[in-house]
């Protein structure tokens, strides 16, 4: 029995990677959601007619962050199991849960995984090449993308798999656990760590390389200007173009001097 459930969890986990492969404007991830749960439905509903009705129940509108969907998949699979075992017959509760959880989980996934963890691991990966730039014996340019892939996926893949298993067993308690994890604190910590890494890179660049005083001062000014624009909450796209245009202007003036 335990071996069978382990196989079901693993199959659902791998299928969840394709939740957006059939994304559509009308109901978004509904087909991918059903595709992910199909291993459980085949186990719970061995007869095609029963399985068909069960699948159609989940063909309504559904959309959340792909990394957070495992939580809903696990809870829904557990609730379907209760329905089969006659412990429950409330389909409305299941639909309400899917609808109410999809939005908040999508916000957590976008904020933490996309907007915080991914840039942080990319910054760490880029810093590896930066620190070894002047090493004549270093030939490991492949190290940066490898480090990024390993560090980023180690967290998100572990979260997706174990949240699927835990949500199946804990169900409603899983919601309280997610709320208790305080993702905002984790986001703040990662962002602060990113600032520290960036400050170390700036210090290493200005003090470690053989630049002239003019070049070092210019780099520090650019860095402080970027921090100031960030504190003023200037949009990142505007900051990008300002820095690019300023860099082009300074390069042109530097060539004239």
Average pLDDT over residues 130-152: 75
- pLDDT in the model for residue 176: 80
Average pLDDT over residues 182-186: 80
Sign of CA dihedral 67, 69, 72, 77: negative
Q: How do residues 200-221 score in pLDDT, each as one tens digit?
A: 777 666 666 656 676 667 777 7
Answer whether residue 129 shows pLDDT above 80. Answer: no
Distinct helix (H) and strand (E) counts, the chain: 11, 0
Tally the residues of the chain: 257
How many CB atoms are closer than 10 A to CB 19? 25
CB 105 within 8 A of CB 194: no
All structural domains of the chain with their residue ranges: 2-208, 211-257
d(CA 6, CA 52): 24
Angle ∠(193,177,79) on CA atoms, nearest 5: 135
d(CA 63, CA 29): 5
CB 33 within 8 A of CB 62: yes
d(CA 44, CA 22): 24
Average model confidence (pLDDT) for the chain?
81
Listing DSSP states for 66-125 in one string gives TTTHHHHHHHHHHHHHHHHTTS---HHHHHHHHHHHHHHHHHHHIIIIIIIIHHHHHHHH
- The overall longest dimension of the chain from CA atoms, in Å, is 83
Q: How do residues 217-254 score in pLDDT, each as one tens digit?
A: 777 777 777 777 767 776 666 766 776 677 677 667 66
Average pLDDT over residues 30-49: 91
Q: How confident is the model at residue 158 (pLDDT cuts 50, 70, 90)?
A: very high
Question: Which residues does 43 contact at the CB level (< 8 Å), separation at least 6?
Answer: 4, 8
Answer whether residue 25 shows pLDDT above 60. Answer: yes
């Amino acid at each position: 029995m335990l071996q069978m459930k382990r196989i079901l969890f693993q199959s659902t986990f791998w299928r969840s990677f394709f939740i957006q492969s059939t994304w559509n404007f009308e109901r978004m991830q509904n087909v991918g959601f059903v595709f992910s749960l199909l291993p459980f439905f085949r186990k719970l509903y061995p007869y095609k007619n029963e399985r068909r009705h069960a699948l159609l129940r989940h063909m309504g509108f559904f959309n959340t962050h792909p990394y957070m969907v495992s939580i809903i998949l696990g809870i829904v699979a557990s609730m379907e199991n209760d329905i089969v075992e006659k412990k429950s017959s409330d389909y409305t509760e299941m639909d309400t849960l899917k609808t109410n959880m999809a939005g908040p989980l999508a916000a957590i996934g976008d904020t933490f995984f996309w907007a915080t963890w991914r840039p942080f691991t990319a910054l760490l990966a880029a810093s590896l090449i930066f620190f070894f730039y002047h090493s004549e014996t270093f030939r490991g340019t492949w190290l940066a993308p490898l480090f990024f892939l390993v560090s980023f996926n180690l967290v998100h893949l572990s979260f997706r798999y174990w949240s699927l298993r835990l949500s199946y067993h804990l169900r409603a308690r899983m919601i309280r656990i997610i709320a208790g994890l305080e993702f905002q604190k984790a986001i703040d910590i990662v962002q602060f760590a990113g600032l520290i890494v960036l400050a170390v890179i700036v210090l290493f660049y200005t003090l470690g390389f053989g630049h002239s005083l003019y070049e070092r001062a210019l780099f520090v000014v650019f860095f402080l200007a970027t921090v100031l624009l960030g504190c003023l909450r200037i949009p990142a796209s505007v900051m990008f173009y300002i820095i690019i245009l300023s860099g082009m202007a300074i390069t042109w003036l530097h060539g004239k001097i």
